[in-house]
Structure 1
């Protein structure tokens, strides 16, 4: 999946053709699972690690229920899930019964890259708060992709991935967005130009497609089983059924 081929026009992006949930079997079923205390002085939502799959896991690493979400930062369905789920999901994670792993997925191609690079810019501990903030204000910054002109798109054909990422991050106002949340402009530009991080996002997307059959977002997996779910109520129901109660 080459960076140039990942570009999707603003009109296609806002049409959201690629957002959706995966086909699946149901979640595993089980009796109520006992809560697990967090480390002293912490809540489980404070425990965040980068995973080998290129995602970020929040919660008890040994939780009985391992929830994975593949999400795209420009996907409105993912934004809706984030807004609807954050408070309750954090409460469930804090019981130690469920761990939540978010895996970035470039469902809309290169336009997903700047947001994910900036969400990861301050390290794992800040990933979830920054991602939640980006989702909460998605309509505002995503609408600015319309300022990417045809001339810009032509120029992008000769740009490096880092240059494309920086151009889009600037056009969508994402540098200013993170500046108000503790990331300096220099730090933001450095993150946007991180070729290694860009390559990792592309590789993780390809791996998710190949290994887990991801074709749209949001896409959920619980203890290895794909969930036929796209909303928080549906996912919450699967968690309750599996023992998070």
Structure 2
């Protein structure tokens, strides 16, 4: 599916799916959960796998509490959640009681594609560190979207999804961003040109909309139940209530 076609056919859905939280409560409740030791010579935060839903799961795969975030790499609320949650969330994950799965969601369509392609460019283990760094510097690289000219936009109408992703990745300085973090320019361009990866991002977004009723980002599930939460303070209170303490 051509990405510009995807944007046109889902414009109404994305207009509704602006950055914001879910509106349905339903977190599980429970007694304090026992901590679970990580594999030898590892911390649970270093155990990361790609999931069948197109996301990346960090932590004990058998954790009693399974937190899922649908997030957009260009969403300011998602960036705020990342910066506020990382330290405390990693502690809970390292206890073995909570796993964290991040599912990419193209809430702003094409703008989200290059960042996600590059975040997953070095494999599952690097996904969370790169995503956190992209969120920390979001205002800087996202502000460069203004360098996309009218001529660029006209040219994009005849481009493939891979060419559009490469153009935007270049214009927003994302290739230079990852070059300073161990990804070569050739590797970055190869990731931006990965049509299968772009299709997978679209599939994850469509699944989130249809099956999980994602209405905005950040959007959270806990053990499959939607959370009435959009900030780390709110999510943490749900985790504590459910036994992560």
CA contact (8 A) 1:6 1:110 kept: no
Deviation string 1:108-149 (CA, Å, 9 cap, x unpaired) is: 001100000000000000000000000000000000001111
Query: Do the aligned partners of residues 2 and 18 (structure 1) sit closer, same or farther apart at CA in structure 2, a change above 3 Å counting?
Result: farther
1:23: Cα distance to partner? Answer: 1.6
Unmatched runs of 5 consecutive residues or more in structure 2: 9-14
CA contact (8 A) 1:121 1:188 kept: yes
Residue equivalent to 1:11: none
Q: Taking structure 1 as the reference length, what is the TM-score of the superposition?
A: 0.95
CA contact (8 A) 1:92 1:244 kept: yes
1:44 maps to 2:44: yes
Report the 3-state secondary structure (helix = DSSP H, G, I; strand = E; otherwise coil) of the residue aligned with 1:69: strand
CA contact (8 A) 2:16 2:216 kept: no
Deviation string 1:7-62 (CA, Å, 9 cap, x unpaired) is: 59xxxxxx998101112123110000000000010000010000000000000000
CA contact (8 A) 2:179 2:185 kept: yes
- Which deviates more, 15-24 or 230-239? 15-24
**Residues in 2 aligned to 1:44 and 1:186: alpha-carbon distance in whole angstroms:** 32
Residue equivalent to 1:71: 71
Moved over 3 A (4+): 5-8
- Which deviates more, 147-156 or 131-140? 147-156
Report the 3-state secondary structure (helix = DSSP H, G, I; strand = E; otherwise coil) of the residue aligned with 1:89: helix
Residue equivalent to 1:182: 182
Q: After superposition, where does 1:11-160 map in structure 2 within 5 Å?
A: 18-160=18-160
Aligned length: 239
1:240 maps to 2:237: no
1:106: Cα distance to partner? Answer: 0.1
CA contact (8 A) 2:166 2:189 kept: yes
Note the aligned Cα RMSD (angstroms): 1.5
Residue equivalent to 2:166: 166
**Residues in 2 aligned to 1:2 and 1:85: alpha-carbon distance in whole angstroms:** 35
Residue equivalent to 2:11: none
Q: Taking structure 2 as the reference length, what is the TM-score of the superposition?
A: 0.95
Query: Do the aligned partners of residues 161 and 2 (structure 1) sit closer, same or farther apart at CA in structure 2, a change above 3 Å counting?
Result: closer
**Residues in 2 aligned to 1:5 and 1:78: alpha-carbon distance in whole angstroms:** 26
**Residues in 1 aligned to 2:229 and 2:211: alpha-carbon distance in whole angstroms:** 19
Report the 3-state secondary structure (helix = DSSP H, G, I; strand = E; otherwise coil) of the residue aligned with 1:99: strand
- Which deviates more, 48-57 or 19-28? 19-28
